[in-house]
């Protein structure tokens, strides 16, 4: 009888040990899974964009036109490098010291507006637009289908590789989550299409995008009026 009891005790011990091993294994796998998820989350977080760093960096304010880069602070008449120009009457307009004007049309040989550049005067005296530098850029409409083929042919590109026709996801990948969002609903009375405006700003520096109802970026603009900061 004692022998039978001994055998039963041994079998029970083995059974309990087996359960503990299984429980240990299950816990270990759970911990690994949790750690893996944590690592993935950490990895994702490390890829998050610092919007302030993007917006506050003077080097990020540029537009590439036909493969030529024009930066904030470059002479506005440098667009002649790609056979574009400003209107003659705009070139003679005066800009007070440390001021800027509304965006001026950049045109081709057919005189059509292709995009706009903002004339900026960073000097201590009044100058004309002809002697100003680039303080801002704007191109596009509130609907991608309204864009002219002449404008699209310029292959305009800004920081992050963003172009007309890029998507919201492309924008967030380059700039992070927007600071401000405005939804414009379809207006039947004026036949105005739906679109969304996304903005990123810091002081006198700003990027803004319009994404139309097809999901394409149809308008891009930026300004940098504080290049000396």
Q: Is the pLDDT of residue 39 over 60?
A: no
From 163, 165, 171, 155, select the one nearest 68 (Cα to Cα).
155
148, two tokens: 């002219």
Instruction: Extract the tokens encoding 61.
Output: 């304010």
- Tell me if 60 is assigned to some domain: yes
Q: pLDDT-based confidence at 185, cuts 50/70/90?
A: confident
The whole domain housing 60 covers 51-224
**Does 107 fall in a domain?**
yes
**pLDDT digit string (tens) for 70-123?**
999 999 999 999 999 999 999 999 999 999 999 999 999 999 999 999 999 999
pTM: 0.77
The H helix count followed by the E strand count for the chain is 5, 12
Closest by CA to 61, choosing from 120, 140, 113, 145, is 120
**214 part of a folded domain:** yes
Tokens of 34: 């949790």
Total number of domains constituting the chain: 1
What's residue 229's pLDDT?
61
6 lies in a domain? no
pLDDT level of residue 192 (50, 70, 90 thresholds):
confident
Interval 135-167: pLDDT, tens:
999 999 999 999 999 999 999 999 999 999 999
Q: Write the CA distances from 118 to 154, 225, 228, integer angstroms.
A: 18, 10, 17
What does the block give as tokens for 24?
Answer: 């240990």
Half-sphere exposure for 4 (CA within 13 Å, toward CB): 1
- 170: in domain: yes
Domain contains 207: yes
Distance CA 122, CA 96 (A): 9
Are 221 and 136 in contact by the 8 Å Cβ rule? The answer is yes
Alpha carbon distance 62, 224 (integer Å): 10
* Count of other CB atoms within 10 angstroms of residue 133: 22
Q: Classify residue 196: in a domain, yes or no.
A: yes
22 has pLDDT over 50: no
CA atoms within 13 A on the CB side of 222: 26
118: which DSSP letter? E
Residue 30 lies in a domain: no
């Amino acid at each position: 009888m004692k022998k039978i009891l001994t055998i039963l005790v041994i079998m029970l011990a083995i059974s309990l040990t087996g359960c503990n091993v299984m429980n240990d294994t299950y816990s270990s796998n759970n911990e690994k899974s949790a750690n893996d998820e944590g690592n993935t989350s950490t990895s994702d977080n490390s890829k998050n964009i610092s919007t302030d760093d993007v917006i506050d960096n003077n080097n990020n304010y540029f537009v590439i036109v036909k493969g030529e880069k024009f930066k904030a602070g470059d002479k506005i008449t440098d667009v002649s490098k790609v056979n574009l120009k400003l209107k003659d009457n705009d070139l003679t307009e005066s800009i007070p010291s440390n001021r800027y004007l509304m965006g001026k049309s950049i045109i081709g040989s057919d005189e059509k507006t292709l995009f706009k550049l903002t004339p900026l005067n960073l000097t201590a005296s009044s100058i004309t637009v002809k002697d100003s530098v680039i303080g801002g850029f704007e191109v596009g409409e509130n609907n991608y289908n309204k864009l002219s083929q002449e404008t699209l042919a310029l292959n305009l590109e800004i920081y992050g590789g963003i172009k007309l026709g890029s998507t919201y996801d492309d924008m967030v990948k380059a700039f992070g989550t927007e600071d401000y969002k405005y939804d414009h609903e379809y207006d039947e009375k004026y036949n105005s299409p739906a679109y969304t405006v996304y903005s990123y700003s810091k002081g006198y520096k700003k990027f803004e995008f319009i994404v139309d109802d097809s999901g394409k970026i149809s308008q891009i603009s930026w300004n940098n009026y504080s290049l000396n900061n």
